[in-house]
A and B are shown apart, each in its own frame.
Chain A
């Protein structure tokens, strides 16, 4: 187990280096720089600014400088949020996104897994049809539509929940719900398929024939085994949550990483774009590593290398 984790960490370093290099090239090839905004600045000031951020140097020197700082854990300075380092911004934004993502994931699991299980156990029934209709609808509806509906219903019409900012737990309800819908639907479909497969196994028939009730069979014999493939989608699920967080943080004006990423792209805030992208990359690598570890715990026969 320890060997697996160490191996993953060692493997993560080249991956992060590649991600950093590609993003570095991407943002710099583009026409338009961070100081070519609406207000035209005097050329002397632009020259000074560029010198301050080392943007006057040739690209390969900028690259070496950036990599040197990165190795020391310094992600650079934001151009738009004057005087703030990228580390500083991300240290504020990351916990917010983590809370939002965690709440969304929890909700998604609590909705998706039972829904999928019920659909599978009652295969072909009205409940199955309803659950599958709901979950297909869930993956078909853009998260901004869910957000708009929730904001309109609970914020504007009923006026019972706040629709923006990130201050109290009450502020978390609508964003977390918005974020949870599509992963919940995704999980429900997956759970259904997984449970259906397990239901055909011999040991389920044995459990049934020794007189165990349907509920007990499902909980004791089916779900535990059906959870293996479900646990393995944590990777793609993290990707869905990250994507969702862009929209949700944009809609609810939540100061998380997704919103900083979007504004940074709009502002050509080079270091902030790179910083957020790298954090997303680390997040994905970590979630995939957790998946591998969960694999080993849930199914000791599995040999992960």
Chain B
């Protein structure tokens, strides 16, 4: 069961035929590598982590490709350094959403009936509240450090995953292989772990791909209005917030951090869209106006179940 349904090769093939998603994949990979390297203190820019003191508020030049801020710090170095926090906030939030959402949704979907009803009304209410409103209120309670932001982001991000896991579980429960496992007397937890979860994994991964950008957006927005991270913490959001104050005279200070927030969020959204289409064999793909045919022999062999399904 573990070596299963949707062959990895098949998804990769379909993903490669969605130009936006394929390009987004490489963008994300490179940004993540930069974030990782800067986390390991590899000096990626000319100025590394030291400050220059001579050029205050310099415009972009060969020496400072993105200019410097009011303390003479090289903006490119700061953006490289800030990628660490922005990316890790996005990824960690997705992980928190995954854990809470999957457990909650699994309980609701697996038990059904009254428990399911009560749990899902809870999700409905939590879903209807504006994220930022809830995050600000939670931030009041637990403070605005990195952990505070992570907790409040996690708390507003899990509902989508929970709904999805529940819907998947409700649907999968009636599949023959689950009934077979139950008839064979397999323990409920094992059914969830070995049969339901692996089969629900595709949509869950897509949902998580969308959680990362919305977390990055929320963090930067919160930091921007002054209710999120604040210096010395350095994320793209705090950099943009710094830049906002000198928009009139030195627009480069807000332009570059904003661009990287936009690029990262856009790439994750494109990748999410692409993964969703790639994972759903019913979606016809168009590459430059041409319908993409399913690959012939080799890949079909890898994923027989997928091909027979639809």
Using a CB–CB cutoff of 8 Å, the interface residues on chain A facing chain B are 15, 23, 26-27, 29-30, 123-126, 133, 136-137, 139-145, 148, 151-152, 156, 235-236, 239-240, 242-243, 246-247, 250-251, 261-262, 265-266, 273, 277, 280, 284, 288
Contact = CB atoms under 8 A, between A and B. Distances in A.
28 contacts: A27-B140, A123-B286, A136-B20, A136-B269, A136-B273, A137-B262, A139-B269, A140-B217, A140-B262, A140-B269, A142-B221, A142-B261, A142-B265, A143-B221, A144-B220, A144-B258, A236-B128, A239-B128, A239-B129, A246-B136, A246-B221, A247-B221, A261-B136, A262-B226, A262-B227, A273-B137, A280-B133, A284-B129
A246 B132 contact: yes
Contacts of A280: 130, 133
A65 B221 CA distance: 36
A50 B249 CA distance: 44
B240 interface: yes
Nearest to B261: A142
A280 B132 CA distance: 12
Most chain B C-beta atoms within 10 Å of own C-beta, residue among A140, A239, A250: A140
Contacts of A26: 137-138, 140-141
Contacts of A30: 140-141
Nearest to B131: A243
A262 B221 CA distance: 12
Q: Is the interface of B mostly helix, strand, loop or mixed?
A: helix
A142 B219 CA distance: 10
Interface residues of B, number: 39
B106 interface: no
A124 B286 contact: yes
Contacts of A243: 130-133, 221
A148 B247 contact: yes
A266 B217 CA distance: 21
Nearest to B257: A145
Which are the 5 A-B pairs with shortest beta-carbon distances? A140-B266, A124-B286, A140-B265, A145-B258, A239-B130
B265 A265 contact: no
Given A133-B20, A140-B213, A280-B133, A247 B262 contact: no
A156 B248 contact: yes
Nearest to A241: B130
B20 A152 contact: no
A133 B221 CA distance: 22
Contact of A152 (B128, B141, B247): B247
Nearest to B213: A140
Interface in B226-262: 226-227, 240, 244, 247-248, 251, 254, 258, 261-262
A36 to B, nearest CB: 14
A270 to B, nearest CB: 10
A140 B139 CA distance: 24
A67 to B, nearest CB: 19
A156 B130 CA distance: 32
A136 B267 CA distance: 9
Most chain A C-beta atoms within 10 Å of own C-beta, residue among B213, B224, B262: B224
